[in-house]
Amino acid sequence: MVDDLLQDRTLYSTRVARAMRGVPRHLFASGVPLEEAYSDITLVTDRDEDGHALHVLSAPGVQATMLQQADVRPGQRVLEIGSGGYNAALIADLTGPDGEVTTVDTCPEQAARTRRDLDTAGYPHVQAVHAKVEQGVPDNSPFDLILVTVESSGLPPAWAAQLETGGRLVAPLAMRGLTRSIVFTRESSHWVGRDPQLCGYVRPHGDEVEWEQTVALQGKHVSLRLESDAPEIDVDGLSSALSTTPVEYWSRVNLSWDQSIAPLDLWLATCIDQFAILTGSTEAVARDVVARVSRTGAPTMVRGDNFGYRIARPIRDDLSLWEVGVRAHGPQATPLAHDFIKYVREWAVHHRGWPGPRILVHPSKTSLARYSQGRVVNNRHARILISWFAP
pLDDT, tens digit (0-9, with 9 covering 90-100), for 188-213: 889 999 999 998 887 765 554 456 78
Distance, CA of 15 to chain centre: 24
Closest listed residue to residue 117, CA positions, set 24, 33, 253: 24
Is the peptide bond preceding residue 142 cis, with omega within 30 degrees of 0? yes
How far is it, in rounded angstroms, from Cα 193 to Cα 4?
A: 29
- 22-38 pLDDT tens trace: 999 999 998 899 999 99
Cα–Cα distance for residue pair 68/24, rounded to 1 Å = 19
Read off the pLDDT of residues 284-341 as tens digits, 9 standing for 90 and up. Answer: 888 888 998 877 899 999 999 999 999 999 999 888 999 999 999 999 999 999 999 9
Choice among 39, 58, 189, 367 that is catalytic: 58
- Identify the residue with better confidence: 343 or 110: 343
Q: Which of 26-30, 94-98, 215-219, 259-263 has the highest mean pLDDT?
A: 94-98
pLDDT tens figures, 49-92: 655 555 678 899 999 999 999 999 999 999 999 988 999 999 99
* pLDDT (0 to 100) of residue 49: 63
Count the neighbouring beta carbons within 10 Å of the beta carbon of residue 190: 20
Q: Respond yes or no: is residue 58 known to be catalytic.
A: yes
Looking at domain 2-198, its CATH superfamily turns out to be Vaccinia Virus protein VP39 (3.40.50.150)
Other CB atoms within a 10 A radius of the CB of residue 130 amount to 16
Taking CA atoms, 101 is separated from 61, 132, 271, 317, in Å, by 21, 17, 40, 48
Domain ranges of the chain: 2-198, 212-350
Q: Rounded to the nearest 5 degrees, what angle is found at the Cα of 66, between the Cα atoms of 269 and 148?
A: 85
